[in-house]
């Protein structure tokens, strides 16, 4: 199965930075988009995330993987300030995120998609993107009520920007369709477009390929790279589809029981015995009991073949 | 036909129906019965109430049960201001007094909307309904204790103590006395147009989309940088202002008005208009407010059984408009106009999906 992986970012040279992380060499002279130091959160004694250190370069595509319940989505919720960390700090573009709320996190350039799609399903596709543009193309409430010239000008700008963003995924003709009636894959794509509309510097994708067929996944991989190149932003993604993770992620971070167990490039991760153990169990047991748990089947195969 | 054209047609139809109704009412004014004539201004007020409550319930998705509270604030502040102008400054011009009273009524209701909104809009769901319900009752009880009078050019306000010098305007539980009936049907019509323009323009703007986003998915709205409390507040206060304006017009249509008029059941009545007209549907609110305000008058011949018949009719209407058979009928009706449109949409989405939706 490894042959089917098309490594799109294989030529990236990764270099180490102080916080035990690696970032692409091209981002070295730029401010890292995200720096987590000793980040942690406890839910009544349960350490959901512990001592999470990670640096992401300005234009890096980073992967966050791990078995189910490892705390991947919790990390996203910490970064978008859904939860306030009980320990450690997060810096976005060099600004400490302490005390920010979700809205402030969005304004400072963190955008995300959700594992279970959260679109405004009664509204049209275009309106969904326009809501994403909320803080980008602004006009006041009274300009809207009184239909002042600012309203017409900014509405036109919103329309043009929305169409431009939708055209990334070839969805510009679907602007009037209610978002809820889109096919599943298109809903996932629309969520990415809406996140992009907030003009982020870091795009967090929570299982973007979930429920997609291999053809769609291939297309998504190309599009993620296209987005990174076009907007010059960093992308961090949680994904169980190892084809996608190994294919486009430059730096990969493996989480298990809330702790980082490995960081490195795709090749390093695939040959890391600790990662294989996390996915398959100890080697001794793996030999006796060949069938891996169903939800870790995909990553297991990948890791085992490395 | 795209979404924008559809919205434009919907808005034009809404405005068109209101204007047509106004013209017809004026043309056949002579043929109307006395009781129907007396209903015209209250109908205008209830339409504005329904349209504004629709902004809270339908557009921002919060259940508010205290809308009559804002109406009573508007009504009594409007009456006081109008009386003050008449007795304190000898302003005889009724139109001027009416306009200023409506503006003041709206502003006062808006101020209370902000005060109530700050703590209340942090609550969600049922809690918000409970607190707004309590607010409506508190306002009524407070107004029962408020006295106001004019002496010279001075407005004197008293709380609990009824012994005020000069000309009394508000008399506690006995309500407002000797208020001139200065409300006009034309003013009511203009107020409806203003309410419609505000609500429809607001909904189809950046602010309105943000409000609907907080309704549809709070978490996603926050994640794209929308301040949920702020936009819920905008909807709530805008509705309060409109309710206050409607209240001022309503108050100035009667020679006496007691605070007990704006009880909890009035808030529920407005909610019934909104629900029966279709939540989020402005035109529906207008129609149901009109029909349901007129209905008790038309049922006068049932005498004692009037409210019983009214209740039965309400239930019947809800059931009839919601059965599968009637839904199918309405969908067919819509289908006749929309079939072509739908085909285009489907074709468009197929082309753009590039076969990506194969496994859905």
Nearest to A205 by CA among A215, A186, A226, A220: A220
Q: Residues B130-158: what's their mean pLDDT?
A: 89
Q: Cα separation of A57 and A26, whole Å?
A: 9
Cα A270 off chain centre by: 20
pLDDT at B312: 87
Lowest mean pLDDT among A122-131, A164-173, A280-289, B181-190: A280-289
Per DSSP, the residues of chain A read: -GGG---TTTTPPEEEETTTEEEEGGGTTS--SEEEEEEEEEETTEEEEEEEEEEE-TT-EEEEE-STTSSHHHHHHHHTTSS--SEEEEEETTEE-TT--HHHHHHTTEEE--SS----TTSBHHHHHHHHTTTTS---HHHHHTT-HHHHHHHHHHHHHHHHHHGGGT-GGGTTSBGGGS-HHHHHHHHHHHHHHT--SEEEEESTTTT--HHHHHHHHHHHHHHHHHHT-EEEEE-S-HHHHHHH-SEEEEEETTEEEEEE-HHHHHT-HHHHHHHH--HHHHHH--PPPGGGHHHHHHHHH-
- Note whether B34 contacts A: Cβ–Cβ < 8 A: no
Q: Which of B158, B183, B184 is nearest to B172 (CA)?
A: B158
pLDDT tens readout for residues B203-218? 999 999 999 999 999 9
Q: Which residue has the tokens 């890292």?
A: A32
Q: How confident is the model at residue A255 (pLDDT cuts 50, 70, 90)?
A: very high
Lowest-pLDDT range, A220-224, B28-32, B80-84, B265-269? B28-32
The CA distance from B206 to A79, in Å, is 27
Q: Which residues of chain B neighbour A197 with C-beta distances below 8 Å?
A: 224
Q: How far apart are CA B55 and CA B200, in angstroms?
A: 9
A141 with B207: Cβ contact below 8 A? yes
For A40-70, the pLDDT digits (tens) are 999 988 899 999 999 999 999 999 999 888 9
A223 touches chain B (CB under 8 A): no
Q: To the nearest whole angstrom, how far is the Cα of B24 from the nearest Cα of chain A?
A: 28
d(CA A83, CA A71): 13
Percent of chain B with pLDDT over 70: 91
pLDDT at position A289: 47
pTM comes to 0.86
d(CA A220, CA A222): 5
Question: How near does any CA of chain A get to the CA of B325, in Å?
Answer: 24
Interface of A with B in 83-142 (CB under 8 A): 101-103, 106-107, 111-112, 114, 118-124, 126-127, 130-132, 134-135, 137-139, 141
Contact A120 B217 (CB under 8 A): yes
**Residue B354 to residue A170, Cβ atoms within 8 A:** yes
Q: At what angle do helices B34-54 and B282-298 cross, to 10 degrees?
A: 150
Residue that the structure tokens 């012994």 belong to: B163
| Predicted pLDDT at B318 | 80
Task: Kindly report the nearest CA distance between residue B203 and chain A, in angstroms.
Answer: 9
- Residue matched to tokens 């730096």: A251
Calculate the alpha carbon distances from A103 to A100, A110, A295, B82, B223 in Å. 8, 10, 34, 44, 6
Chain B CB contacts of A141 under 8 Å are 202, 205, 207, 234
Q: What is the pLDDT of residue B174?
A: 84
- Band of residue B357 on the pLDDT scale cut at 50, 70, 90: very low
Chain A contact present for B8, CB below 8 A:
no
pLDDT for position B329:
78
| Alpha-carbon span B134 to B141, nearest angstrom | 11
d(CA A9, CA A247): 7
Q: Do B197 and A145 touch (CB under 8 A)?
A: yes
Residue spans of beta strands (DSSP E) within chain B: 146-151, 154-159, 167-171
Give yes or no for residue B39 having a pLDDT over 50: yes
CA geometry: angle B167, B168, B172, nearest 5 deg: 170
Q: What are the pLDDT digits (tens) for A117-150?
A: 999 998 999 999 999 999 999 999 999 999 999 9
A184 versus B353: the higher-pLDDT residue is: A184
Q: At residue A286, does pLDDT exceed 60?
A: no
Dump pLDDT digits (tens) for B235-262: 999 999 999 999 999 999 988 888 888 9
Tell me, what's the ipTM? Answer: 0.84
Residue written as tokens 């349960």? A46
pLDDT of residue A191 exceeding 50: yes
- Binning pLDDT at 50, 70 and 90, where does residue B336 land? low
Reported as a pLDDT band with limits 50, 70 and 90, residue A202 is very high
C-alpha to C-alpha distance for B239 and A192, rounded to whole angstroms: 34
- Nearest CA distance, A11 vs chain B (angstrom): 30
Q: Which of A108, A123, A173 to mutate to test the interface with B (most CBs of B within 10 A)?
A: A173
With tokens 């054209």, the residue in question is B5
pLDDT score, position A5: 54
CB neighbourhood size of B131 (10 A):
17
**pLDDT tens column, A90-120:** 999 999 999 899 999 999 999 999 999 999 9
* Per-residue pLDDT band at B155 (split at 50, 70, 90): confident
pLDDT of residue B337: 61
A186 touches chain B (CB under 8 A): yes
pLDDT per residue over B310-325, tens digit each? 888 888 888 887 778 7
Give the residue extent of every domain in chain B.
Answer: 3-322
Provide the strand spans (E) within B114-237: 146-151, 154-159, 167-171
Query: Mean of the pLDDT values across residues B331-353?
Result: 58
CA gap B223, A77 in Å, rounded: 10
The domain at B3-322 falls in which architecture? Orthogonal Bundle (1.10)
């Amino acid at each position: 199965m490894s042959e089917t992986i098309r490594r799109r970012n294989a030529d990236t040279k990764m270099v180490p930075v102080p916080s035990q992380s690696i970032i692409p060499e091209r981002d070295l002279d730029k401010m890292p988009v995200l720096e987590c130091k000793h980040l942690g959160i406890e839910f009544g004694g349960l350490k959901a995330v512990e001592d999470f250190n990670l640096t992401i370069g300005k234009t890096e595509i980073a992967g966050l993987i791990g078995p189910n319940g490892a705390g991947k989505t919790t990390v996203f919720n910490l970064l978008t300030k859904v939860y306030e960390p009980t320990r450690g700090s997060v810096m976005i573009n060099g600004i400490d995120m302490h005390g920010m709320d979700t809205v402030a996190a969005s304004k400072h350039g963190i955008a995300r998609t959700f594992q279970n799609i959260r679109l405004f399903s009664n509204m049209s596709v275009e309106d969904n993107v326009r809501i994403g543009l909320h803080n980008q193309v602004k006009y006041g409430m009274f300009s809207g009520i009184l239909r002042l010239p600012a309203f017409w000008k900014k509405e036109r700008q919103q329309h043009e920007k929305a169409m431009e963003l939708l055209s990334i995924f070839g969805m510009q003709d679907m602007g009037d369709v209610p978002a809820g009636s889109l096919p599943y894959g298109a809903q996932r794509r629309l969520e990415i477009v809406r996140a992009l509309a907030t003009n982020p510097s870091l795009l967090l994708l929570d299982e973007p390929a979930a429920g997609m067929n291999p053809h769609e996944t291939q297309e998504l991989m190309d599009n993620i790279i296209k987005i990174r190149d076009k907007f010059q932003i960093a992308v961090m993604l949680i994904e169980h589809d190892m084809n996608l993770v190994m294919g486009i992620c430059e730096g990969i971070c493996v989480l298990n029981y809330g702790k980082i167990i490995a960081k490195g490039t795709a090749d390093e991760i695939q040959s890391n015995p600790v990662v294989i153990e996390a996915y398959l169990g100890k080697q001794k047991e793996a030999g006796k009991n060949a069938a891996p748990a169903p939800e870790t089947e995909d990553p297991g195969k990948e890791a085992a073949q490395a | 036909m795209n979404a924008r054209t559809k919205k434009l047609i919907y808005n034009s139809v809404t405005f068109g129906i209101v204007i047509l109704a106004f013209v017809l009412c004026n043309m056949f004014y002579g043929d109307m019965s006395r009781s129907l004539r007396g209903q015209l201004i209250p109908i205008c007020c209830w339409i504005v109430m329904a349209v504004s409550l629709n902004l809270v319930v339908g557009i921002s998705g919060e259940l508010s049960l205290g809308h009559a509270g804002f109406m009573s604030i508007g009504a009594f502040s409007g009456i006081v201001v109008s009386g003050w102008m008449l007795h304190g400054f000898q302003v005889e011009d009724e139109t001027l007094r009416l306009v200023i009273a409506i503006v003041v009524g709206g502003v006062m209701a808006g101020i209370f909307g902000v005060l109530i909104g700050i703590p209340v809009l942090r609550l969600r769901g049922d809690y918000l309904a409970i607190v707004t319900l309590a607010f409506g009752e508190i306002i009524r009880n407070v107004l029962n204790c408020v006295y106001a009078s004019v002496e010279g050019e001075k407005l004197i306000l008293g709380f609990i103590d009824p012994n005020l010098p000069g000309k009394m305007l508000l008399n506690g539980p006995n309500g407002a006395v000797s208020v001139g009936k200065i409300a006009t049907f034309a003013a009511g019509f203009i107020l409806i147009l203003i309410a419609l323009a505000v609500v429809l323009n607001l909904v189809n703007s950046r602010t309105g989309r943000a409000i609907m986003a907080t309704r549809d998915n709070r978490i996603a709205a926050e994640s794209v940088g929308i301040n949920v409390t702020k936009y819920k507040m905008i909807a709530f206060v805008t509705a309060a202002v409109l309710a206050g304006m409607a209240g001022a017009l309503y108050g100035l249509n009667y020679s006496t008005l007691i605070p007990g008029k704006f009880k909890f059941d009035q808030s529920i009545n407005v909610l019934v208009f909104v629900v029966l007209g279709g939540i989020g549907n402005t035109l529906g609110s207008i129609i149901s407010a009109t029909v349901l305000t007129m209905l008790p008058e038309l049922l006068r011949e049932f005498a004692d059984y009037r409210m019983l018949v009214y209740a039965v009719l309400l239930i019947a209407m809800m059931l009839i408009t919601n059965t599968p058979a009637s839904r199918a009928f309405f969908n067919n009706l819509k289908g006749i106009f929309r079939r072509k449109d739908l085909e285009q949409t489907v074709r468009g989405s197929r082309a753009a999906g590039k076969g990506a939706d194969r496994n859905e």
